[in-house]
Structure 1
């Protein structure tokens, strides 16, 4: 009997000890969470995701709401291009400090997967009917100017995605997926906005799928080019060249325009590979035109991202392509959008000069008045200036009319090519000719053509 009682007491004590252990473990976790909720430090992402997990388990029955926000700095690559790593860290530290000033009590901020991202946990104690106003406040604070390097001011915008438990997901994975979808929609619309996840955004998952599919698109030869002729404004039968316009022939979604995937290509790291493939296609087209149609003087404009110019390996890769195809690089114009943004970047300008030494022509896009660019055009021997369809709207202002006339005179004096894009009527073409703009492209002349249509267009001319 005594042995039985001893065993029973021992089992009871063991049970009490085990129960006490789990109670203490639970209380310790609560204590750590409470301590975390009053901390103003930027915690690791794993700490925040573990907190979300625990909050979901505690609140499932009570259904107490909490909110997650994903904050992403727009155009972060511009900061990477312009500053060194230490300066980047300093800028992001300023941003995180500004965000923290806007957070309600018991919120938690963590660094995201990328250095330009932050996740925010907003606890159930906050009035969730006021989440959008809070997001606007956070956005304003995070966009405050940052001054470094003896007063150099950095202006920036941010995008914010929002998801709330349990409304937008009752698991950690569903909540973070909702955040990704909300963020993608903001970025797809140009960034600098706030998006609260909703069920109708679930189609955004299709665009997230594109992010992964784009990695295989080059190998599967799903990218294709259409070509839009560039002609003389004095005689549209006088064809100077063509601009290669990228499209994605998606197996399920059909023909996709660049705005549907270029941002994703940049995020996935595939933009450089697409640019290299594009230059190779331009060289192959020149070979075909020369051999099949005996057209030896047609120039092919190919768009190359400024960030590809910043890549030190681009020069070597382009050099190999020229040798591989035994091509004439002077018949290819490397067309650079957003040239003005990078005009003060030494690496960009140094690499541009190196590419120019290979024999390529250089074309730049101009969308607004920029007197500094004209100096750079002369210094770096730019061959072509392209004016987008909105450029001549600048004439509404007298000073801008003067700029346009000065630009036309400058191009003539330096014997450069000036091309107006987006010409849709004969009247527009005639006006360009009268003003002295030498070349034009647009739907009035020809829509973008596939290679078969281009061949027919060229032989007709």
Structure 2
């Protein structure tokens, strides 16, 4: 009562404009509180929707990653496939044996580069279904990750069963796919529990080593793990996995070494070289990784992968500035040349970026090791038909190249660095080397001297009528940006080498 009386008394004593101000304050405060309340409610609603969207997306990603993997009686996923194997191992009795087949699709990286994700998903899905169809109650099978599938056998184990299942699994994989008429093969590593591992991880680790050896021996086969492989191949397999991861992590870099015309000072070509920016060992040259890829046969898709990056980079340069006559050379190993229709694959890559084949040269390593192989020689002739340049630097054991120069499907002959060193040392074989050089010039081949390190070498090669050279005297292999600037404006001119070429 006293409070009401006080309020009434206060209002009664207030002036009219004070009452208006008070009312306005109350109205504004009420409105502010209303809008604040509405904003808080809207914010909470939005947060709830975002959480629902995130949960939905997370669930979708999880479902996508956990491919459905099949056994006869139940579906398993990639997240619990190893758990199922470990569960069976726990239930084994003394004397029980198990076989694990680790199945890797060959040249899977090449498929990923060539096809879209939808097609790749279809390929892995079809493989899954094939294993499911092949399965019975005595195994666990499924897609573990990427290009890897597992087949775990829980029946009676003996050498005959191991071989029989290996052959059957190869047949299952090798059947033509229903997806775009794609054919694939697989390399399989075989391990036996408990001799080669006492849990899923241990078995898989050793199975990976056996897979590596299967690939190294030619792919499309299985290889049984044995203890002696640890000493022989353990370093290589870990290195091999590092290399494959390096591609995903974009650790490979392009480097270039210029090929110079000493008469004009112009750069007529670049030899492209891959370098590996290893996270621990720094920049590594090709010799540190290409031999491992060559052993496993992965040099085929790796070569195509590297070539596409060379083509794309050249295409990017042409969009930035004008480039006159210039070719970029790429090394080809014998194993690459044994692949049917290889030339067409390279031609398709140049067409993809609107480039002309004569912008590129393929340097064939160990020509006389492949000159009797029909597929390899067909590829070389096809390269020339498509318009690519082809270079060789193999004279033969007895310098027989000089007598067969007119039959060689190459328009460039490169004098190897070792031959150049012999010439500079006045080695008795210098006459044979000169005979090869003369035969190349007589057959209108471009002759390039490799490994030029000083002005004396420039003088000697100039006396032999050789005007195109490369080597550390001109430049070490340089990164992309440095090479681009060299191509844009050559560091040399017509007068640079005058005193050495007269």
Would the alpha carbon gap of residues 346 and 373 (structure 1) be closer, same or farther in structure 2, given more than 3 Å must change?
Answer: farther
Would the alpha carbon gap of residues 221 and 355 (structure 1) be closer, same or farther in structure 2, given more than 3 Å must change?
Answer: same
Would the alpha carbon gap of residues 331 and 46 (structure 1) be closer, same or farther in structure 2, given more than 3 Å must change?
Answer: same
Would the alpha carbon gap of residues 52 and 412 (structure 1) be closer, same or farther in structure 2, given more than 3 Å must change?
Answer: same
Preserved contact between residue 263 and residue 467 of structure 2 (Cα < 8 Å): yes
SS of residue paired to 1:366: coil
Aligned counterparts, 1:146-295, within 5 A: 176=227, 179-180=228-229, 182-184=231-233, 205=235, 208-235=237-264, 237-295=265-323
Per the TM alignment, residue 456 of structure 1 is displaced from its structure 2 partner at its CA by 2.4
Q: 1:113 aligns with which of 223, 229, 244?
A: 223
SS of residue paired to 2:323: coil
Per the TM alignment, residue 313 of structure 1 is displaced from its structure 2 partner at its CA by 3.8
State the distance in 2 between where 1:45 and 1:112 align.
13
Aligned residue number for residue 410 of structure 2 = 382
CA-to-aligned-CA distance 1:170-208 (integer Å, 9 cap, x gap): xxxxxx3xx445324xxxxxxxxxxxxxxxxxxx74x54
CA-to-aligned-CA distance 1:414-448 (integer Å, 9 cap, x gap): 22111121111111122211222232111110111
SS of residue paired to 2:448: strand
Per the TM alignment, residue 369 of structure 1 is displaced from its structure 2 partner at its CA by 5.0
Per the TM alignment, residue 322 of structure 1 is displaced from its structure 2 partner at its CA by 2.2
Would the alpha carbon gap of residues 234 and 180 (structure 1) be closer, same or farther in structure 2, given more than 3 Å must change?
Answer: farther
Per the TM alignment, residue 353 of structure 1 is displaced from its structure 2 partner at its CA by 1.0
Per the TM alignment, residue 289 of structure 1 is displaced from its structure 2 partner at its CA by 3.6
Would the alpha carbon gap of residues 451 and 393 (structure 1) be closer, same or farther in structure 2, given more than 3 Å must change?
Answer: closer
How many residue pairs get matched?
295
Aligned residue number for residue 418 of structure 1 = 447
Would the alpha carbon gap of residues 332 and 377 (structure 1) be closer, same or farther in structure 2, given more than 3 Å must change?
Answer: farther
SS of residue paired to 2:458: helix
Would the alpha carbon gap of residues 218 and 398 (structure 1) be closer, same or farther in structure 2, given more than 3 Å must change?
Answer: closer
Preserved contact between residue 402 and residue 435 of structure 2 (Cα < 8 Å): no
State the distance in 2 between where 1:335 and 1:350 align.
16
Instruction: Note the residue ranges of structure 1 that are not aligned, 5 or more in a row.
Output: 1-21, 26-42, 55-69, 86-110, 120-175, 185-203
Q: 1:440 aligns with which of 456, 459, 469?
A: 469
Preserved contact between residue 290 and residue 296 of structure 1 (Cα < 8 Å): no
Name which of structure 1's ranges 260-269 and 395-404 shifts more when overlaid on structure 2.
395-404
CA-to-aligned-CA distance 1:243-272 (integer Å, 9 cap, x gap): 001111223332111111112212344311
Preserved contact between residue 227 and residue 450 of structure 1 (Cα < 8 Å): yes
Per the TM alignment, residue 213 of structure 1 is displaced from its structure 2 partner at its CA by 2.2
Query: With structure 1 as the length reference, what TM-score do the two structures score?
Result: 0.56
Instruction: Note the residue ranges of structure 2 that are not aligned, 5 or more in a row.
Output: 1-92, 96-158, 164-189, 197-209, 492-502
Aligned counterparts, 1:344-359, within 5 A: 344-359=372-387
Q: Whose Rg is larger?
A: 2
Aligned residue number for residue 63 of structure 1 = none
SS of residue paired to 1:218: helix
Preserved contact between residue 218 and residue 274 of structure 1 (Cα < 8 Å): no
State the distance in 2 between where 1:460 and 1:419 align.
18
Aligned residue number for residue 406 of structure 1 = 435
Aligned residue number for residue 135 of structure 1 = none
Per the TM alignment, residue 308 of structure 1 is displaced from its structure 2 partner at its CA by 1.2
Q: Does 1:430 align with 2:422?
A: no
CA-to-aligned-CA distance 1:133-170 (integer Å, 9 cap, x gap): xxxxxxxxxxxxxxxxxxxxxxxxxxxxxxxxxxxxxx
Preserved contact between residue 278 and residue 302 of structure 1 (Cα < 8 Å): no
Would the alpha carbon gap of residues 249 and 313 (structure 1) be closer, same or farther in structure 2, given more than 3 Å must change?
Answer: farther
Aligned residue number for residue 456 of structure 1 = 485
CA-to-aligned-CA distance 1:388-408 (integer Å, 9 cap, x gap): 211134446876222122122
Query: With structure 2 as the length reference, what TM-score do the two structures score?
Result: 0.51
Preserved contact between residue 282 and residue 332 of structure 1 (Cα < 8 Å): no
